[in-house]
């Protein structure tokens, strides 16, 4: 593995999942990262990603340096050829090259603006780090993808599945703020790579980018989609077609006990943070079916498997 920008950077997904599950059982890798440093750069807030990746690196024996990009350091310029006479003090060319002097792996979180689809899809921040860094770069959630979350989700489904080929449903739910498509994009992407029966359900107007979902069935009737599901992944996202917009206020998409009953006693997943009683009802989150904490725990081992592979190559 050279970088971990998106799921295409994974050479052997089943092997990586197996490795993460093995690390979870028997974590004795503190020599591999000795004397190596992970630099984590946050352009946006983070709880799980921040702590689980820091934890993963330390389990590998690495040192970790964390920076809040906006406040601790300098405002970055990403445009090639820019005449830097306004508010940006440092160009990504220098920032990435300098971080590569101090860090053995650089990890970056940078959310989309959700205003300009082309700009977000260009993935300027993470791709600029990849371009100008001389060390591996890890995506801690970028404008259009969250591959560490997707690897976690794949691990969780593989761990918890009770049938050979489980039915996995990704369902939209309402949210008061316009959210990125990064998590559902990467979840759809990783599910397509596993031997599961994968279905997406969302209201009209909320279909994800077809280049990512491919031939995954998209069903606009939530109850029909949820029928006999073994796993339900609940997540809000803003419209892709009407880019970054909230199109409706349909509270009926909240995942509650009534909908859980339609499923095959499904395991319920969410990347967190989750809005209780808006996205998922208390009665589901507080039930045995909720696997959101189990899933959050797997973040550590997904990150560790990725960092381990980057350190080895």
Kindly identify the residues of this chain, within the stretch 101-160, that bind a second copy according to CB under 8 A.
101-103
In the complex with a second copy, which residue's Cβ is closer, 95 or 170? 95
In the complex with a second copy, which residue's Cβ is closer, 33 or 166? 33
Does position 278 interact with a second copy (CB under 8 A)? The reply is: yes
Cβ neighbors of 229 (< 8 A, separation 6 or more) are 167, 168, 169, 199, 262, 263, 264, 266
> What distance in Å separates the CA atoms of residue 138 and residue 171, rounded to the nearest whole number?
27
Does position 54 interact with a second copy (CB under 8 A)? The reply is: yes
Task: Find the binder of a second copy among 12, 74, 113, 241 (CB under 8 A).
Answer: 74
Q: Given the rule CB under 8 A, which of 100-108, 141-149, 188-196, 233-241 is the region that contacts a second copy?
A: 100-108
> What distance in Å separates the CA atoms of residue 223 and residue 38, rounded to the nearest whole number?
44
Task: Find the binder of a second copy among 142, 156, 300, 304 (CB under 8 A).
Answer: 300
> What distance in Å separates the CA atoms of residue 150 and residue 156, rounded to the nearest whole number?
10
Does position 55 interact with a second copy (CB under 8 A)? The reply is: yes
Does position 90 interact with a second copy (CB under 8 A)? The reply is: yes
In the chain, where does DSSP find H-type helix?
13-25, 48-59, 69-72, 92-102, 117-122, 124-132, 147-160, 182-192, 210-213, 222-226, 257-262, 282-285, 292-312
Kindly identify the residues of this chain, within the stretch 4-33, that bind a second copy according to CB under 8 A.
30
The end-to-end CA distance of the chain, in Å, is: 6
Least distance (Å) between residue 208 CB and a second copy: 22
CA quadruple 95, 97, 101, 104: dihedral, nearest 10: 100
Residues that bind a second copy (CB under 8 A): 30, 35, 37, 39, 42, 45-48, 50-52, 54-55, 58, 63, 65, 67-68, 71-74, 77, 81-86, 89-91, 93-95, 97-99, 101-103, 176, 272-278, 282, 285-286, 292-293, 296-297, 300
């Amino acid at each position: 593995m050279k970088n971990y920008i998106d799921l295409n950077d994974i050479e052997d997904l089943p092997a990586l999942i197996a490795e993460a599950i093995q690390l979870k059982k028997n974590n004795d890798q503190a020599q591999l990262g000795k004397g190596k440093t992970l630099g984590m750069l946050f352009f946006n807030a983070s709880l799980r990603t921040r702590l689980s990746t820091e934890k993963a690196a330390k389990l590998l024996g690495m040192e970790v340096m964390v920076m809040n990009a906006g406040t601790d350091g300098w405002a970055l310029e990403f445009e090639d050829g820019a005449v830097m006479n306004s508010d940006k003090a440092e160009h990504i060319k220098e920032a990435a090259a300098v971080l590569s002097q101090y860090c053995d792996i650089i990890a970056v979180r940078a959310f989309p603006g959700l205003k300009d689809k082309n700009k977000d899809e260009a993935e300027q921040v993470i791709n600029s780090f990849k371009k100008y860094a001389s060390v591996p770069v890890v995506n801690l959630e970028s404008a259009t993808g969250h591959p560490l979350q997707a690897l976690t989700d794949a691990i969780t489904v593989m761990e918890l599945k009770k049938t050979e080929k489980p039915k996995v449903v990704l369902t939209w739910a309402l949210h008061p703020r316009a959210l990125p498509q990064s998590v559902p994009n990467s979840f759809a992407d990783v599910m397509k790579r596993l031997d599961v029966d994968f279905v997406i359900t969302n209201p009209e107007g909320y279909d994800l980018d077809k280049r990512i979902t491919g031939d995954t069935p998209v069903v606009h009737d939530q109850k029909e989609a949820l029928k006999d599901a073994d796993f339900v992944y609940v997540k809000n996202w803003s419209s892709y077609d009407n880019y970054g917009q909230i199109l409706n206020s349909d509270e009926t998409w909240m995942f509650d006990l009534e909908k859980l009953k339609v499923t095959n006693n499904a395991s319920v997943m969410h990347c967190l943070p989750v809005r209780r009683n808006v996205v998922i009802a208390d009665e589901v989150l507080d039930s045995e079916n909720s696997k959101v904490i189990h899933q959050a725990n797997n973040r550590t081992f997904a990150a560790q498997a990725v960092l381990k592979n980057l350190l080895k190559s």
